[in-house]
Structure 1
Amino acid sequence: MDKSIIVFEYFTGGGLNQTQPDSFPTVEGYAILYSVIEDLKKSGYKTITTLDERFVSYCKLPADEQIIIPIGEDPLEKLKDFFGVVDGAILVAPAFKEALYRVTYFMEKHGVNVLGSNSHSVLEASDKRLTMLLLEEANFPVPKTKVADVGEDVDDVRLKVEEIGYPVIFKPTDGVGCSGASLVKDYSKIPQALNLVRKNTKTNYFLIQEFLDGFHASVNILTNGEEVLVLSLNQQNIKIKPPPKGLSYQGNIVPIIHPQAEKVKKTVKKLVETMNGLKGYIGVDLILTRNEVFVVDVNPRITTSYLGLRKISKLKLGEQIVKAGLGLKIPKKFPLKKGVTIISKLNLQPNKKPPLPTKNIEIFYLPNQPKNFLVATVYGKNLFEAKKCMKNFRKNL
């Protein structure tokens, strides 16, 4: 098979086919999977993917080969027939339950070229506790952090909180998309924050971190393991609430201009040097204050902001991801078209169909989910136009 790539996405591809997957990560995963496959095909690659049988009737993918995964069967075992003939695999999976690590390790063990970070660096990035330790040892600015056991009683946790000082953030070390994280402003919220963490983690510990009052951003990079190319600096829309609601990811603005942009570039270059094995497309979550760039999370995979980035890229993103994943030369600059994109996680009213997409609005939606989420990406010639377009779109939901 000539120039062929496996694209495996965990939520839609059968990674959770013995349980009911969460609605938003599944829709988000579908959006990323569809977009990556489409971009690879534009770059001349044949694509192979898996699809959970429950999504067959409404997940329409442009893949050349689509392997249907029955409930209870292992999608990775189903892909084995292709391992010896593909050029590589692009993997999209969460840190939760070490999913991305397990998938990456499986591919490596069977001799597949993983077009992304190796399993060692994925494991480091999937555990926020390990990530913070690495960053601290390498003299990155990090928020004051304490590690607590999920089984600790409220008073023991309180003592750790008071060492940092209120307000603090409680968050699982294996959380995805803000799940399980919440803002704790005083002692009365500790029991609820503990319960929220416990419901959203599979590990025995969690982080208590100083609340940083800054600008929530993310940066997308490509790296071949040595060179680092910044693709875009983005705004993250994060709702910050105390428990039981907690933090929630709402979307991105791609790209943005920020006075800390040059410092961000230096930070991510140092990050790649520090975390050996990072490769391919990486998303890094940041908090930007007046004087510092804080790395909050490292996502060694294609992230949601990709949905906006692909709309304004002048280069073929699929081709560049493959090159970086193979360790080949990557461009020194990443030219962007004029314009701004806004990606939003939105709720659709029950029993209502989403509006039709337009030239400047792309919509991903899966019916028959427990919660009626959709992911919308709008494009505008500038931020004002993009915001106006998104505002009008929301009115029709």
Structure 2
Amino acid sequence: MKIFVFEYASAGVLGATPLLTEGYAMLKSICSSLSAAGHEVHTFLFSEINELGIRPPADKIETYSSMHDAEKILSHVDACIPIAPDNLLYDLTKMVEAKTSLIGCPSKSILSCSNKDETYKIVSEVSKYFDVPEYETLPLENDPVVEYCSEIGFPVVIKPVDGSGCEGVSLINSKEEITDAIKKVSYVSMAKKLIVQKFCEGEHMSCSIICSKSRVLPLSMNSQRIKISGNISYLGGISPYPCVHKEEIFEESKNIAQNLELSGFAGIDLLVSGDKISFMEVNPRITTSFIALSNVMRTGELLVSCVEDSLPASVNLNGFGSVVIFPLKRGYDLDYKKILQIPEVISPPFSEEGTTLISVKSPSLYGIVDEINVVQKKLRDLGLLC
């Protein structure tokens, strides 16, 4: 099968964005998994990445200049995997649906998931186990946000209604911080509203699922390493990860996926505290956890099974995988040749104030920590880390 992987950031559609490192890592992982499954892979690659001699394992790599280039490729392939920030994914998916088979969530599901308010309402109606933390949808105005925060009490989380991941999300401890948080939302959101939600303590986890027309297959529970300060940042995770509530979460995730009519790979973000499982959001696309899971299962075969509606009844996970995003110290000497000699580096930094993403695997959960420490030392020896 000829498959076009259109990863928005690494294609260069957004220019030199901070999303490049994570985007290229996902592109590389998807291309590797599809190639290993015997498929012909086509993709775009940002010219600035290509000039560094960094290329994903694809059969045909082209340079993006306009959406017309994408439409030409779509007319000559059997299927496409589109990946983009949630506020851009809908239009991209609509274009794919008009041209070829889609490996991913349909546009109408993306529209529902990209609106957190709508998603929260659906989950509240259909969920047996998940709690939706107290929240309010408000305009991008200071007074109503201050009033609601005072009503529910600090700390609170302020985030875009249509946000993707941790982008534009702030943890607020006082009303003096609200103005800056609203500005942060306005920079990344196409909507004129935001979500204010009571901050909840707990363990950050996600559930990865893959869906076809007739089946929803839960793949794994994943840990999430989240840095919480004024800004909230995702720094990686481990897949699979033990969770005493796994069976209940798998059952509930299948229920939510069916109600939202999800397809392809998707992730459901959760906060687990004792017996309380709080729902955070649905990511209707391939997420960074896919990279870790590709170390322990045949993800390429599963992606194609979505189109063919031939998902297996279960999957075997061979060990543990992890993704870690390392912020780099300022002023380091950027030497791509040395960085890429470290095999665990999936995506190098593409700017002097960027991050690098590594992926490791181990037969045991404890072994994962050892593997991460080994790579961390290699990066520190190169002068990249503090």
TM-score after normalising by structure 1: 0.88
State how 1:1-397 maps to structure 2 within 5 Å. Answer: 3-16=1-14, 20-23=15-18, 25-58=19-52, 59-69=54-64, 73-74=65-66, 76-95=67-86, 98-110=87-99, 112-139=100-127, 140-150=130-140, 152-153=141-142, 155-242=143-230, 246-276=231-261, 278-313=262-297, 316-324=298-306, 326-338=307-319, 340-349=320-329, 350-353=332-335, 355-357=339-341, 361-367=344-350, 369=351, 371-395=353-377, 396=380, 397=384
8 A contact 2:340–2:348 mirrored in 1: no
| Cα shift at 1:327 | 5.0
| Cα shift at 1:68 | 1.1
| Structure 2 CA distance for aligned equivalents of residues 258 and 146 of structure 1 | 30
Q: Secondary structure at the match of 2:101?
A: coil
8 A contact 1:263–1:293 mirrored in 2: no
| Cα shift at 1:60 | 0.8
Superposed CA offset, 1:266-321 (max 9, x none): 11011112112x101111111122223222111111111111111111xx311211
8 A contact 2:207–2:221 mirrored in 1: yes
| Structure 2 CA distance for aligned equivalents of residues 298 and 321 of structure 1 | 18
8 A contact 2:345–2:356 mirrored in 1: no
| Cα shift at 1:99 | 1.1
| Structure 2 CA distance for aligned equivalents of residues 177 and 138 of structure 1 | 23
| Structure 2 CA distance for aligned equivalents of residues 357 and 390 of structure 1 | 16
| Cα shift at 1:357 | 4.9
> Which stretch has the larger CA shift, 287-296 or 210-219?
287-296
| Cα shift at 1:391 | 2.1
Query: Where does structure 1 lack aligned partners over 5 or more consecutive residues?
Result: none
Q: Secondary structure at the match of 2:224?
A: strand
Aligned length: 372
| Structure 1 CA distance for aligned equivalents of residues 62 and 184 of structure 2 | 36
Q: Secondary structure at the match of 2:197?
A: strand
| Cα shift at 1:370 | 5.3
Mark the CA change 1:215 to 1:9 in structure 2 (over 3 Å): closer, same or farther. Answer: same
Mark the CA change 1:347 to 1:166 in structure 2 (over 3 Å): closer, same or farther. Answer: closer
8 A contact 2:25–2:291 mirrored in 1: yes
| Structure 2 CA distance for aligned equivalents of residues 78 and 343 of structure 1 | 32
TM-align CA RMSD: 1.9
Q: Which amino acid aligns with 1:309?
A: L
Identity across aligned pairs (percent)? 29
Q: Secondary structure at the match of 2:353?
A: coil
TM-score after normalising by structure 2: 0.91
Q: Which amino acid aligns with 1:247?
A: I
